[in-house]
Chains A and B, each alone.
Chain A
Amino acid sequence: MLSPFRVSVIVLSAALTLSPLAYAQSARPPQSGLHKDEKAPTAPAPRHDISGTWVPANGLLDGIQPEGVKAMPNDGKSEHQLPYTPHGLETYKSHKPLIGIDAVAPAFFNDPRDKCEPLGFPRADLYYLRETQIMQNEYKVAVLYQYGEAWRVIWTDGRELPKLVDGGVLVGNEVREPRFYGYSVGKWVDDTTLVVQTVGMMPEDRVWLDITGRPISDALRVEERFHRVNHDLLELTVTIDDPKMYTKPWIAMNKFPMRLEDPHTDVMEVYCSPSEMEKYNQLFANPTSAPAGDTPVR
């Protein structure tokens, strides 16, 4: 039986797919007349259109970001140290990630991801950014992430970004609840660049920034800059501004290249299943994490 969440995704996807604008400019121009080894010239970027299925241009690991956010991996190098506030550092130290310089064994982590919690935003950009389907019409841009089959909507209909207030965001006169994927508003700053602001994400005990346990809070503001360089190339830049956790804004993803994929591609699901996770922990994670002769129990 379909859950309400899945029904919502199906309805949203169907609505956007059927929209006359969805994928309107994704079809590649004809390339007939080329020799076998001759590469077709890349077509220019269409105006105000980032729709399509996009994949990391430099391989899957680039999007998975297994060492932490792409532009600032958590590798101990001085140039990658984040500007933590005291509270940010304390929060980071309370996290027990499976990857990074402070990684723990698989049986001892506390990453919400492995309890099958939603990744949330901006972690959806900063971890496991794989085949990403973007659909748009005149009112909104929908981003469909592969991990967890999660989606979010970026409004491009001219509305204002909600104001951050205690306990959530202010939409008109109404205080609205925090969301895993926040509240997003986008504006075209030129023909090929969509700048998106997002606020209203979950508090620090619900979400992490990346797989290495970097923290975020409900004071977070994120700027995404989607720049379509040409027909086949999209660059994504993500800036983190969280005064509770960091003393200044910093760039987590810098012109991250994504390449347009065959529009017929059927994206494979990547999910977190509590039952499969439990089986994995029992069969593999717990016994490999134990000293010889001892098996920890989560």
Chain B
Amino acid sequence: MDKKIALVAAVVVVLVGMSMPLFAHHGTSVFDTSKTLTLKGSVTAWDWSNPHCLLQFDVKNEDGQLVHWIAETQNPGNMVYAGWAKSSFKPGDEVTVTLVPAKNGRPFGHINQVLLPNGKTLDANKGLTTTNDSAGSSGGSKPDNYSK
């Protein structure tokens, strides 16, 4: 198996509710929410933008061909609260992406989580379900006086 980029695993049927993605801008109609895919790839772009952030990455398939994937998260206002940032990825980063794939079989999906090169995992759904009691700010914004 290619050490750098490899399609790791396969389609996993998940229990409903265990890793159900959260959608606030659009619904689940284009995604097969009964499945998740785990893919190892190399980041080509990270768009920190509305209405959804988009992670673009290349994955080598079993035939050795590169497949370009695009996967969305929530918008920056939600993601920052889950610990994501504009600086979370840069081109060339080797990542492992767990996502809910598009129904039409194209290389698109909705991200559940991403394993970063440093071993840290970013959970895409965390921010929306966190309450004020478990975090200082519930809106993604930060107590901040700028510099004084």
Chain A residues packing against B (C-beta within 8 Å) = 55-61, 64, 66, 98-100, 103-106, 109, 114, 128, 130-131, 146, 259, 261-262, 264-273, 276-277, 279-280, 283-285, 287-292
Contact = CB atoms under 8 A, between A and B. Distances in A.
B137 to A, nearest CB: 6
A59 B70 contact: no
Contact of A55 (B78, B105, B137, B143): B137
Given A61-B24, A104-B29, 5 more contacts: A59-B131, A105-B29, A114-B51, A264-B143, A288-B106
A266 B146 CA distance: 9
Interface in B132-148: 132, 136-146
A268 B76 contact: yes
Which has the most chain A C-beta neighbours within 10 Å: B26, B75, B142, B145?
B26
Interface residues of B, number: 45
A42 to B, nearest CB: 13
A276 B139 contact: no
Nearest to A289: B30
Contacts of A266: 141-144, 146
Contacts of A288: 30-31, 102, 104, 106, 108
A60 B27 contact: no
Contact of A59 (B47, B51, B80, B128): B128
Contact of A284 (B23, B70, B80): B70
A273 B108 CA distance: 22
Given A265-B144, A268-B139, A270-B75, A103 B81 contact: no
Which has the most chain B C-beta neighbours within 10 Å: A99, A146, A269?
A99
Contact of B136 (A60, A106, A262, A285): A262
A148 B145 CA distance: 23
7 contacts: A55-B132, A60-B78, A98-B27, A105-B29, A106-B29, A270-B75, A271-B50
B87 interface: no
Contacts of A104: 29
A146 B75 CA distance: 13
A261 B136 CA distance: 8
A268 B139 CA distance: 8
A60 B137 contact: no
Contacts of B146: 266
Contacts of B136: 262
A131 B141 contact: yes
Nearest to B22: A61
A99 B146 CA distance: 38
B52 A280 contact: yes
Nearest to B72: A284
Given A99-B26, A104-B29, A291-B104, A55 B138 contact: yes
Which has the most chain B C-beta neighbours within 10 Å: A100, A273, A289?
A289
Interface string B104-144: 11101000000000000000000111111000111111111
Nearest to A65: B24
Nearest to A232: B132
A261 B50 contact: no
Contact of B49 (A279, A285, A289, A290): A279
B3 interface: no
Nearest to B26: A98
Given A56-B138, A131-B139, A262-B143, A284 B52 contact: yes
